[in-house]
Amino acid sequence: MTLSCFELGERMLGVDETLGALAAMTPPAVACQRVPLSSALGGVLAADVVSPIDVPQNTNAAMDGIALAWPEAPPTEVTVVGEVLAGTRFETRLAAGQAVRITTGAPLPDGADTVIMNEQLATSAASRVRIEHPERVRRAQNVRRAGEDLARGQLALAAGTRLRPQHLGLLASLGLADVSLFRPVRVAVFSTGDEVTAPGEALPAAGIYDTNRFSLRGLLERLGCEVIDLGILRDDLETMRWALATAARDADMVMTSGGVSVGQADWVKPALEAIGELGLWRIAMRPGRPLAFGRIRREAGAPVPFFGLPGNPVAVMVTFLQFVQPMLRRMQGEHAWQPARLTALAGESLKSREGRVDFHRGIYASDEAGRLWVNTTGRQGSGILSSMVAANCLIEISAECATVDVGAPVTIQPFGDLT
């Protein structure tokens, strides 16, 4: 797909259309590498993991008590012939009606099929125990079957899974010490603008502190990317052209914020056109237009995808979440990813415009009846970053919708892994 069909001056692109176009232009997933389990958190599996063993390995006791070989008649009193602690095995087969004392996790001896917990037992003679409420005892109770969590040969985790703590635990339960992960995507990030000043420096009379490089870095790090922070670019064609071409040499993606409008100091578009191809996309959404997407040519290797995000700090985060995030996840092999969406009731009337998707910053909570409500954080200007700080979700008002009345259902995207 070429970029030119999305050139400025043509019709507005819909949000879904933009997502489709970006999906079609996503480079293949980056290469993979073996990583020890202890540093695999947040990585994406590059290959299916098939269980090499049964988990648990043995049928074992879920309670402390006795393991019993079920007798012919329902048991009331049984003979205890030994003891088995977690980490040991009882090698003799039990005859019907025989039992051994057992601790949680210990393998059931051959012949045993039922565990009765200590709280239901009383000692009647040296090696005899009485069952207090025999009518409550069921054959096969309190037993964890071998392979009931994962059977040997079963798909344990699919390629494309992003590893959370529970995944690490599960991989460890299979005895795996390392896994095959996609390597982190390397993303070069610039801010642009003569007024943009690094935090820590004195603020010039007409300056503004650089916000976007830091929110973008946070988003990228949470996505498991390697950030190449290349600072602030002046509004100058030659500087930008050189800096972007250089950045593309060892990055998998290059990203800027600001400088993509059509003001006289907006040099991102001409810079990109000199070193690759660029489409300036007017997307029917707010906040977040315009957005530039392009590719930077390289002497060796495939061209590098480029995002020219808007300058306003809220627009930067919203466009990253909606458009950059899916591409980065796909480049890391997480193909099936979709943002989480819920439906909430509007706690206030919301204004939008037909034909445009609006993303308000929202706060959702449930009421006593269990209904989910959402309100905006107040003023919604695309420079008001405190709205992102106050929010716990984005409210997504679809293009079909011009206004949302109080009490009407509306889609929200709860803040998740990244925000």
**What are the φ/ψ torsions at residue 166 (nearest 5 degrees)?**
-65, -30
Q: Is 277 in the site for ligand AMP (CB under 6 A)?
A: no
Q: Is 313 in the site for Mg ion (CB under 5 A)?
A: no
Task: Assess contact for 18 and 281: CB atoms under 8 A.
Answer: yes
Query: 351: which strand partners?
Result: 403
Question: For residues 160 and 313, which CB has a smaller minimum distance to Mg ion in the complex?
Answer: 313
Pick out residues in 318-377 that bind ligand AMP (CB under 6 A).
Answer: none
Q: Is 193 in the site for Mg ion (CB under 5 A)?
A: yes
Question: For residues 312 and 352, which CB has a smaller minimum distance to Mg ion in the complex?
Answer: 312
Question: For residues 102 and 314, which CB has a smaller minimum distance to ligand AMP in the complex?
Answer: 314
Residue with tokens 């232009």: 25
**What are the φ/ψ torsions at residue 129 (nearest 5 degrees)?**
-125, 145
Residue 163, burial from CB neighbour count under 10 angstroms (0-12, 13-18, 19+) = buried
Task: Assess contact for 393 and 364: CB atoms under 8 A.
Answer: yes
Question: For residues 22 and 317, which CB has a smaller minimum distance to ligand AMP in the complex?
Answer: 317
Length of the chain: 419
| Cβ-Cβ contacts under 8 Å for 145 (sequence gap 6 or more) | 59
Could you tell me which stretch among 21-29, 254-262, 300-308, 397-405 binds Mg ion (CB under 5 A)? 254-262
Could you tell me which stretch among 41-49, 121-129, 203-211, 326-334 binds ligand AMP (CB under 6 A)? 203-211
Pick out residues in 234-263 that bind ligand AMP (CB under 6 A).
Answer: 257-261, 263
Q: Is 191 in the site for ligand AMP (CB under 6 A)?
A: yes
Residue type, 141: Q
Nearest C-alpha neighbor of 247 from the set 220, 219, 224, 275: 275
Residue with tokens 């290349």: 230
- Binding partner of residue 211 among ligand AMP, Mg ion, none, CB cut-off 5 to 8 Å per kind: ligand AMP
Q: Is 103 in the site for ligand AMP (CB under 6 A)?
A: no
Question: For residues 45 and 321, which CB has a smaller minimum distance to ligand AMP in the complex?
Answer: 321
CB atoms < 10 A from the CB of 195, how many?
Answer: 17
CB of 55 to ligand AMP, least distance (A): 49
CA 386 to CA 390: how far, in whole Å? Answer: 6
| Per-residue binder mask for Mg ion (CB under 5 A), 142-181, x = binder | ----------------------------------------
CB of 341 to Mg ion, least distance (A): 33
Pick out residues in 256-285 that bind Mg ion (CB under 5 A).
Answer: 258-259
CB of 407 to ligand AMP, least distance (A): 36
Residue 221, burial from CB neighbour count under 10 angstroms (0-12, 13-18, 19+) = middle
Cα–Cα distances in angstroms (integers) from residue 161 to residues 20, 152, 155, 241, 342, in the given order: 22, 20, 12, 37, 22
Sequential DSSP letters for 288-307: ---EEEEEE--SSSSPEEEE
308's tokens: 């020219």
Kindly tell me which residue out of 107, 193, 224, 362 binds ligand AMP, with binding defined by CB under 6 A.
Answer: 193
| Per-residue binder mask for ligand AMP (CB under 6 A), 281-320, x = binder | -----------------------------xxxx-------
Q: Using alpha carbons only, give the angle 260, 264, 267 rounded to the nearest 5 degrees.
A: 45
Question: For residues 224 and 310, which CB has a smaller minimum distance to Mg ion in the complex?
Answer: 310
Kindly tell me which residue out of 51, 211, 322, 413 binds ligand AMP, with binding defined by CB under 6 A.
Answer: 211
Please count the residues of this chain forming the interface with Mg ion, following the rule CB under 5 A: 3
Element (H, E) at 65: strand 65-68
CA 257 to CA 308: how far, in whole Å? Answer: 6
CB of 315 to ligand AMP, least distance (A): 8
Kindly tell me which residue out of 41, 117, 176, 208 binds ligand AMP, with binding defined by CB under 6 A.
Answer: 208
Question: For residues 222 and 234, which CB has a smaller minimum distance to Mg ion in the complex?
Answer: 234
CA 64 to CA 83: how far, in whole Å? Answer: 11
Name the residues that contact ligand AMP, by CB under 6 A: 191, 193, 195-196, 208, 210-212, 257-261, 263, 310-313
Binding residues for Mg ion (CB under 5 A): 193, 258-259
